[in-house]
Structure 1
Amino acid sequence: MTIAAVAELAPGARTPISVAGGFAVASTLPLVWRREYLRPVAAVALSAFAASLLTGQEVLVTSVLAALYTLYALTRQMPRQSAGALAVGSLVTVAVVYLATDTLGDVPWPAAVVAVLAAIGLGDARRTVEHAGRTEAAAEERNNETLTRLNAVQREQAVMRERARIARELHDVVAHSVSMIAVQAETAPYTMDNLSPEAREGYTEIARTAREALVEMRRLLGVLRADAGAEAESAPQPRLDRLPELVDQHQGAGGRADLVVQGRPRALSTTVELSAYRIVQEALTNARRHAPGADVHIELTYLPDRLAVRVRDEGAEGRTLVLNRPDAPGRTAVLEPGNGPSGGGHGLLGMKERATMLGGRFSAGPAESGGFVVEAELPLTREEPARDPAARDSGTSR
């Protein structure tokens, strides 16, 4: 703009060193620093332009555009009350110029008034739009933060419910073991001869402690059921020998599944078998919900120190599915907590909790060959025969 102003002075054989050139440069060049020092720049530029008009200098188009742009930029950064004061001051300056000089004699005064008000009005409108945008962005950010916190709370609640559900299942397992301890300790004095009084007292203390532990476990279970709002379950806890039944149920519901067992099957702890069963059960439920009709492959691998579980569905690509619409493409999806048409567990969250409880590893995601795969490795407890080399060689347990 400064170069354009100097070019406008050239036909009149005037240079930037002249008075007119000084006013032209002063009203345009300071705009270079408008972003950093808007108010001082606006004061210099507008004062130079007003002084050029009052001293009768030739009106330059570039200087007029620079003044109008300065009014626009200044109003854009001002509150509305200050913008009104600026408009009044600008109109007074225009009136003084028309009354005191003939500099703007070729420009009708209504046109000058409209130009000034238009520049100030555009700046105020731009400020309003930007303020509304910032307000909307801030509101959206607050909503996102609220949703994030809500999701975190819901996930935490889902984790607590799933842990309570697992604890209720494990209660029967632990209670059975503690009951066996109590019964054996109580019957030992009657089945073993020549026990010393100290030994009898020790067995009695073991039985008493086991009974007290059972009472405390029942109280804990009552608290868990009250917190989770769950009904008592009367069915026995399933083990791996019931996996064929689970596969048959899946096939009866319209799915297709096959079970492959690798390694030498052996009796594991009830906790490990229960966790493996529930992981397979949740994986099959996930497949029915998100890939109905897809082939599901279940692999159970007995390793020396752990039990590996792998469930992979092949997805529903290429199949005609009836979901939300007749032409909906089949896909395998991650079952998030609370999703799905029916209640029960919490899908992948529950599987992960079960594997983590045993100190194992869990992973789930899209398979390389298509579909969805769930993998879990459940370490065996120290009491497992697999941890004793002699027991592994002979196939017996201690």
Structure 2
Amino acid sequence: MTRDGTDQGPSFGEEIAQHAWRLSGRVVAGLGQLLLWVITGIGRALRPVALRLGAKVYGPPRPHPGAGHDGRTRVAPVGAQTTPMPGWSAAWREFAASWYFAPLTGVALVIAALAELAPQGTPPISVAGGFAVASTLPLVWRREFLRPVAAVALSAFAAGLLSGQELRFTTVFAALYTLYALGRHLPRQSAGALAVGTLATIGVIYLAAGSLDEVPWPATMVAALAAIGLGDARRVKESAERTEAEAEERNNETLTRLTAVQREQAVMRERARIARELHDVVAHSVSMIAVQAETAPYTLQDLSPQAREGYVEIARTAREALVEMRRLLGVLRADAGTGPESAPQPRLDRLPDLIDQHRGAGGGDARLEVRGDPRDLSATVELSAYRIVQEALTNARRHAPGADVRVELAFLNDRLAVRVRDTGASAPTMVLDPSQAAGGSGGPGGHGLVGMQERATMLGGRFSAGPATEGGFMVEAELPFVREETSRSDAHPVPPPGHDR
């Protein structure tokens, strides 16, 4: 900064130092990436051999429990074998992840370094033994104190070479592994500085001592840079994998929330649709109450004034209830965004027409079987049974076109059992449209399995849907004649989206 307070920026020497710093880091990273490419290419070339060895070690591929839509058995990939892994492989993974892995391997390096001195007759308690121990023993604590441990080990290795000690395989391996560990944990700029310092140290050893005269200096420098670069490349890969895993976890959480919201919205729309349909049924009954109450004073003789006043009050209350129901229906229609339905609500006597429509719409052969003694049911029960059959037939046309369908109605002592089974493929169908995640649509505003579940639960009944044991897809519902006070958790849950039809 000048006297007038202006900043002149970095000097020419500072710019050269910054460029050299960045260039060293890029060189190390480029060398590590090049090594990764070479290793990856070798791995791809040896993949057929690896697959054969994997088949011998893990066993041949076994059929996957699932089956495809075409009925063919799926085979699990090599990475997802169902056979148990060999005990030694699992034990090695557990050993590598344990806290005592570093101490044991560090002690093993110390023993190997001292063992290299035996053929030359050098005792362990000597200068060479001291340098060998100092170059390897600190690696026992490499996981807890990497930088101090690396400083001690590399300094001892360099000091041993400068003092004229012979080059030994164990100490060289320990030094290269230490450089790799530093490159794996240090940031890119620090790895570049480490590379520059390592090259300078190698140059000093070549000039001041003859310990490395038997090794060409380019090979020594390339080995050191390769160790640092490979560690840096490994760090970048692990960081990318962690970032990708975190992003995938966030996406999964978002999709889970979105699916839950969409499913809740589908349930609310289906409940609104059911309520609009039930309005017509209840409104008709309330209208009959009002009409009967209004006409009673004219059809019944010798009514007291109190009775006449009671009938008038009943008629007035019924009319007010109709007005409130129409207001409620207006709110439901506004929320659902659909117009009024002028057609009368269907009952069970229209099931033959529904089955004929199914055949005419491209469905396969459909049969209706009635068991038990038919009886007069409430309009709500008959409407729910009709809609369940309608939804099931629509799903059969959509997911199993041309399949035969059998519709069964069983009049039991206290409930109506509805069963619809098609003979199509029983494998789950992949749902691509989020609006169909609840199982398709069986009619205007319907949502398949969710709608059937809601109708059965509304009556206190039970509902289930899924692949049939005889093949195809089965929809079953039990609708009590008198509503059971059961909670929603007692009803059979709707299958998850992976099993929707």
TM over 0.5: yes
Greater RCO (Cα-Cα under 8 Å, separation 6 or more): 2
Does residue 1:209 correspond to 2:310, yes or no? no
Q: CA deviation at 1:99?
A: 4.2
Select 1:284's aligned residue among 378, 388, 393: 393
The residue aligned with 1:381 is 482
Q: CA deviation at 1:252?
A: 2.4
The residue aligned with 1:90 is 198
Kindly provide the amino acid, as one letter, of the partner of residue 51 in structure 1. A
Does residue 1:293 correspond to 2:402, yes or no? yes
| Aligned-partner SS, 1:297 | strand
The residue aligned with 1:302 is 411
Kindly provide the amino acid, as one letter, of the partner of residue 299 in structure 1. E
Cα distance in 2 for partners of 1:304, 1:71 equals 82
The residue aligned with 2:448 is 347
Does residue 1:150 correspond to 2:150, yes or no? no
| Contact 1:336-1:348 at 8 Å conserved across structures | no
Cα distance in 1 for partners of 2:194, 2:118 equals 33
Which has the larger displacement, 73-82 or 53-62? 53-62
Task: Flag the 1:340–1:226 CA change in 2: closer, same or farther, 3 A.
Answer: closer
Listed as ranges, the matches of 1:115-126 within 5 Å are 115-126=223-234
- The normalised TM-score by structure 2 is 0.69
| Contact 1:291-1:331 at 8 Å conserved across structures | no
Kindly provide the amino acid, as one letter, of the partner of residue 237 in structure 2. V
Kindly provide the amino acid, as one letter, of the partner of residue 73 in structure 1. A
| Aligned-partner SS, 2:464 | strand
Cα distance in 1 for partners of 2:218, 2:343 equals 91
Task: Flag the 1:291–1:338 CA change in 2: closer, same or farther, 3 A.
Answer: closer
Does residue 1:54 correspond to 2:143, yes or no? no
| Contact 1:315-1:332 at 8 Å conserved across structures | no
Map Cα deviations across residues 11-39 of structure 1 (whole Å, 9 max, x no partner): 32112221211221232233344334433
Cα distance in 2 for partners of 1:243, 1:341 equals 15
Task: Flag the 1:362–1:262 CA change in 2: closer, same or farther, 3 A.
Answer: same
The residue aligned with 2:281 is 173
Structure 1 segments unaligned to the other structure (5+ residues): 317-329, 384-398
Task: Flag the 1:103–1:336 CA change in 2: closer, same or farther, 3 A.
Answer: closer
The residue aligned with 1:326 is none
Does residue 1:361 correspond to 2:469, yes or no? no
Which has the larger displacement, 272-281 or 8-17? 8-17
Cα distance in 2 for partners of 1:90, 1:22 equals 22
The residue aligned with 1:274 is 383
Task: Flag the 1:135–1:238 CA change in 2: closer, same or farther, 3 A.
Answer: same
The residue aligned with 2:336 is 228
Listed as ranges, the matches of 1:70-109 within 5 Å are 70-109=178-217
Cα distance in 2 for partners of 1:195, 1:341 equals 52
Does residue 1:192 correspond to 2:314, yes or no? no
The residue aligned with 1:131 is 239
Kindly provide the amino acid, as one letter, of the partner of residue 246 in structure 1. L
Select 1:250's aligned residue among 358, 363, 368: 358
| Contact 1:294-1:315 at 8 Å conserved across structures | yes
| Aligned-partner SS, 1:220 | helix
Map Cα deviations across residues 280-328 of structure 1 (whole Å, 9 max, x no partner): 1111111111222222111101111111101111226xxxxxxxxxxxx
Cα distance in 1 for partners of 2:306, 2:135 equals 108
Cα distance in 1 for partners of 2:349, 2:245 equals 57
| Contact 1:332-1:371 at 8 Å conserved across structures | no
Kindly provide the amino acid, as one letter, of the partner of residue 322 in structure 2. L
| Contact 1:269-1:381 at 8 Å conserved across structures | no
Map Cα deviations across residues 183-217 of structure 1 (whole Å, 9 max, x no partner): 22222233333433333333222222221211111
Cα distance in 2 for partners of 1:345, 1:54 equals 84
Map Cα deviations across residues 33-55 of structure 1 (whole Å, 9 max, x no partner): 43344334323322321232233
Kindly provide the amino acid, as one letter, of the partner of residue 387 in structure 2. R
Identical pairs, percent: 78
Q: CA deviation at 1:143?
A: 1.6
Cα distance in 2 for partners of 1:107, 1:16 equals 26
Kindly provide the amino acid, as one letter, of the partner of residue 478 in structure 2. E
Cα distance in 2 for partners of 1:278, 1:93 equals 84
The residue aligned with 2:101 is none
Structure 2 segments unaligned to the other structure (5+ residues): 1-108, 431-435, 485-501
Task: Flag the 1:331–1:82 CA change in 2: closer, same or farther, 3 A.
Answer: closer
Cα distance in 2 for partners of 1:180, 1:369 equals 48
| Contact 1:290-1:332 at 8 Å conserved across structures | no
| Contact 2:406-2:421 at 8 Å conserved across structures | yes
Does residue 1:13 correspond to 2:114, yes or no? no
Kindly provide the amino acid, as one letter, of the partner of residue 358 in structure 1. L
Does residue 1:111 correspond to 2:212, yes or no? no
Cα distance in 2 for partners of 1:89, 1:341 equals 73
The residue aligned with 1:34 is 142
Cα distance in 1 for partners of 2:273, 2:483 equals 25
| Contact 1:336-1:349 at 8 Å conserved across structures | no
Cα distance in 1 for partners of 2:280, 2:207 equals 101
- The normalised TM-score by structure 1 is 0.86
Cα distance in 1 for partners of 2:162, 2:418 equals 90
